[in-house]
Structure 1
Amino acid sequence: MDVKDLLIDGIERSQEACRAVLRGLTADQANTRPGGDHNSITWLVWHIAREQDVQIAPLGGTPEVWTGQGWFERFGLDLPAASMGYGHDTAAVGKVVVSDTALLTGYLDAAVEATKAYISSLTADRLDDIVDERWDPPVTRGVRLVSIIDDAAQHAGQAAYVRGLLFG
C-alpha cells in the first residue's frame, strides 16, 4: 500500500461514517439541532464536504464541485456560495437545512470523489511541496491532506454523537 492509498482510505472512512449516520434518518431528523442551536447532522455533513471542496479545488487547480457541479443551486441555502461553515454563528448554522438527505450524501460523495481524484493524481514527492506559507512552519501538501482527513473524521464523529444523543 502506498501513501496515496492510505490518504484515500482515510477520507473514505469519514464518508462511510456519514452515510451510516444518515442511514434511516428523515431530513427533519438530520436538520434537528441539539439544544435548539447547536450543529445539526445536516450542518456537520455539509461542512465535511465543503471543507474538503474548498481546500482541494485550489490544490488541484479545479473549480469547487459546490459551484462547478451545481450543488450550491440544488441546496438553495440562504448563504453566500463561498460559505463553508468556518466561523458560522448560530444563525448561519440554522440556514443549513435540507429537504432530503440524499442531497447531503450526493454532495458529500461528489466532494470525496474530487478529493480522491486529486490524491490519485499526486506523486509521493509532491507531498513535500509547500502549499501555505501563512503558518510557521509552512504547510506542506501532505500535511494539508492529513488536516482535511482529520477535520472530516472529527466532524463525522460529532455527527454520530448527535445522532446517538437525539435518536438513540
Structure 2
Amino acid sequence: MTSALLLTDAFDRIRQQVHQTVGGLTPRQLAYRVDADANSIAWLVWHLTRVQDDHVSELAGAAQAWTDGGWADRFGLPLDPSDTGYGHTSDQVAAVQVESPDLLIGYHDTVHAATVEYVGSVTDGDLGRVVDRSWTPPVTLGVRLISVINDCTEHVGQAAFVRGILQRA
C-alpha cells in the first residue's frame, strides 16, 4: 500500500462518518448543544471541514472551497471568511447554524474531493518535505496531513457522540 492510498482511505473514512453523523438531522438537531458551552454537531462538522479545506488547500497550492467555491456565501455565517473555528467562543459556536444537513455534506464532499485529488498525488518521498518552519521541530507534509486526519477524526467522533445523545433523548 502506498502513502497516497493510505491517506485516501483515511479521508474516505472521515467522509463516510460525516455522512452517517449529519444525514437526516433537522436544523434544530444540528444546532443541539449538550450544554450552553458545548459544540454543536453543525459546528463540529463545519469546523473539521474548514480545517481540512484550509490546511490541504495550502499544501496543494490551491484555493479554498469555502471562499473561492462559494460555500461561505451559501452558509451565510456571521464570521470572517478566513475563520476556521479555532478559539471560538460559545457565542461564535452558537452562530454556526445550518439550514440542512445537505449543506454540511455538500461542503464536506467538495473539500473531500479536492483532498483526495491532492493526496492521491503524494508520494512516499514527499512526506518528509518541510511545510511549516514556525514550529520546533519544523512540520513536514506527512505530519501536517496526519494532524488534519487526527483533528477531523476527533471532531466527527464528537459529533457522532452528540447525535447518539440526541437519539437517546
With the shorter chain as reference, the TM-score category is over 0.9
2:97: which partner in 1?
A: 97
Find runs of 4+ consecutive structure 1 residues off by over 3 angstroms. none
Structure 2, unpaired ranges of 5+:
none
Q: Tell me, yes or no, if the aligned pair for 2:42 and 2:98 is still in contact at 8 Å.
A: yes
2:77 aligned partner, one-letter code: L
2:106: which partner in 1?
A: 106
1:31: which partner in 2?
A: 31
Q: Distance in 2 between matches of 1:101 and 1:2?
A: 33
Shift of 1:146: 0.6
Q: Deviations over 1:57-108 (max 9, x none)?
A: 1111111010111000000000000011111010111111101110000001
Q: Tell me, yes or no, if the aligned pair for 2:14 and 2:153 is still in contact at 8 Å.
A: yes
Q: Distance in 2 between matches of 1:36 and 1:90?
A: 7
2:81: which partner in 1?
A: 81
1:160: which partner in 2?
A: 160
Q: TM-score, normalised by structure 1?
A: 0.96
Aligned-residue identity in percent: 44
Structure 2 residue 118 is matched with structure 1 residue 125: no
Number of aligned residue pairs = 168
Q: Tell me, yes or no, if the aligned pair for 1:30 and 1:101 is still in contact at 8 Å.
A: yes
Q: Deviations over 1:30-71 (max 9, x none)?
A: 111111331000000101110001101111111101011100
Structure 1, unpaired ranges of 5+:
none
Q: Tell me, yes or no, if the aligned pair for 1:49 and 1:107 is still in contact at 8 Å.
A: yes
Q: Tell me, yes or no, if the aligned pair for 1:28 and 1:99 is still in contact at 8 Å.
A: no
The Cα RMSD (Å) is 1.0
Shift of 1:116: 0.7
2:97 aligned partner, one-letter code: V
Could you say what secondary structure the match of 1:34 adopts? coil
2:81 aligned partner, one-letter code: A
Q: TM-score, normalised by structure 2?
A: 0.96
